[in-house]
Amino acid sequence: MAESLLTLSGVHTHIGHYHILQGVDLVVPRGELTMLLGRNGAGKTTALRTILGLWRASAGTIRFESGNIAQRDTPAIANLGIAYVPESMGIFAGLTVRENLVLAARRGPPDEKRLDWIFRFFPPMKKFWQLPAGLLSGGQKQMLSISRAIIEPRKLVLIDEPTKGLAPAIINNLIEAFAELKQTDTTILMVEQNFHAAKSLGDSVAVMDAGRIVHAGRMADLAADAALQTRLLGLSLEAHQ
Ligand SMILES: Nc1ncnc2c1ncn2[C@@H]1O[C@H](COP(=O)(O)OP(=O)(O)O)[C@@H](O)[C@H]1O
Ligand SMILES: [Mg+2]
Contact (CB, 8 A) for 149 and 83: yes
pLDDT score recorded for residue 138: 87
> Is 4-81+157-239 a domain of CATH 1.10.10.10?
no
Q: Which residues surround ligand 2, an ion (CB under 5 A)?
A: 44-45
Which of helix, strand or coil describes residue 240?
coil
Q: Is the CB of 193 under 6 A from ligand 1?
A: no
Helix (H) or strand (E) holding 190: strand 187-191
What local confidence, expressed as pLDDT, does residue 241 receive?
47
CB 15 less than 6 A from any atom of ligand 1: yes
Going residue by residue through the chain, which has 241 residues, state the pLDDT in tens, using 9 for 90 and above. 679 999 999 999 999 999 999 999 999 999 999 999 999 999 999 999 999 999 999 999 999 998 999 999 999 999 999 999 998 877 999 999 999 999 998 888 888 998 998 998 889 999 999 999 999 998 899 889 999 988 988 999 999 999 988 888 888 888 988 888 888 888 999 999 888 899 999 999 999 999 999 999 999 999 999 999 999 988 544 444 4
- The CB density around residue 43, as the number of other CB atoms within 10 Å, is 22
151 and 121 in contact (C-beta within 8 Å)?
A: no
Whether 97 contacts 129, CB under 8 Å = yes
* pLDDT, position 238: 47
| pTM of the complete model | 0.92
Burial 70-83 (b: 16+ CB within 10 A, else e): bebeeeebbeebbb
For ligand 1, is residue 41 a contact (CB within 6 Å)? yes
DSSP H or E stretch at residue 221: helix 219-223
Res 192: pLDDT: 94
What pLDDT score was predicted for residue 1?
Answer: 61
**Cα dist from 46 to 19, 137, 154, 240, whole Å:** 11, 27, 21, 21
* C-alpha triplet 143, 179, 112: angle, nearest 5°: 55
Domain ranges of the chain: 4-81+157-239, 91-153
Ligand 1 pocket: which of 15, 19, 20 to mutate (most atoms <8 Å of CB)? 20
Residue type, 167: A
Which residue's CA is the closest to the ligand 1 atom numbered 26? 41
* Cβ of residue 18 lying under 6 Å from some atom of ligand 1: yes
